[in-house]
Structure formats: C-alpha cells, structure tokens
Structure 1
Amino acid sequence: MLHWIQPASPTQNAYVERVNGSFRRELLNGYLFATLQQVREHCRLWQYDYNHLRLHQALHFMTPTEFRQAA
C-alpha cells in the first residue's frame, strides 16, 4: 500500500530522502553525462558502492553486506 508524504514533510520518509540527497550530491551534481549509457553505468556503479561497500550510520557503521552477515 502506498502512503503519500505530505507536502513540506520530507521527514515522514527520512531514509528515502537520505538516499535521494546522496544520489543527487554524489552522482548527478558531480558529472556531466554525454550519453544515456554513461548515466546507466555511473548509476550502476554508484548503487553497487552504496549497497555493498559504503559504511552506513544506521547500520552501526557497517556495510550492508557486513550487517547482513552479522545478523
């Protein structure tokens, strides 16, 4: 079931807002893309880094892979 976020209330879904902000700051604002293929490749690499290699504060500064293995 979808739940809509009220206007001007981004804290209702803080995790999504955090990912969106990181994605914009680190990827979209950092590169000037010439082709759609470049966009896809950079997004794939960024997503892999975010989901497998990066330490996350919400996971007690472990990578998602380490957190999954510890559980």
Structure 2
Amino acid sequence: MKEVDLRPGTKEFVVPTAVTRNGTNYMGPDVRVNARDVEHAKEIVRQHGHEINRHFEPKEIKKR
C-alpha cells in the first residue's frame, strides 16, 4: 500500500484500484491518499496511473 504525507486541511482515504489483464479486470492494490474529498482522492489516483475499481467507493480512514 502506497502512502502520502498528510497535509493541513486534508483527510486520508483508501482507494481500491483495478488491474486489467487480457481484457479482464481484477482487484488491484489499495492506495492510501490524502485528499479533500472522495472525488479529489479518485483524481489523484488516476493522475498516478492507476485504474479506479468502480465497484467499490474510496473510504475515509478514521483517526483513533
């Protein structure tokens, strides 16, 4: 799982990704991202070359 440093004003999300092999989509690694909201988290993951798994929504990591 990749990690990004926390910045002020952001929340930490886990974004599920997909991997395509021979035309079939498989579950990829979960990527940890710091973003303002869910859409921003998806955008960051796409910019880094990952495909978003459309069957699962990104989830915010709750602080203890």
Which bracket does the TM-score occupy, shorter chain normalised?
under 0.3
- Bigger proportion of residues as helix: 1
- Structure 2 length normalisation: TM-score? 0.25
- Structure 1 length normalisation: TM-score? 0.23
- Bigger proportion of residues as strand: 2
Higher relative contact order (CA 8 A, sep 6+): 2
Larger Rg over CA atoms: 1
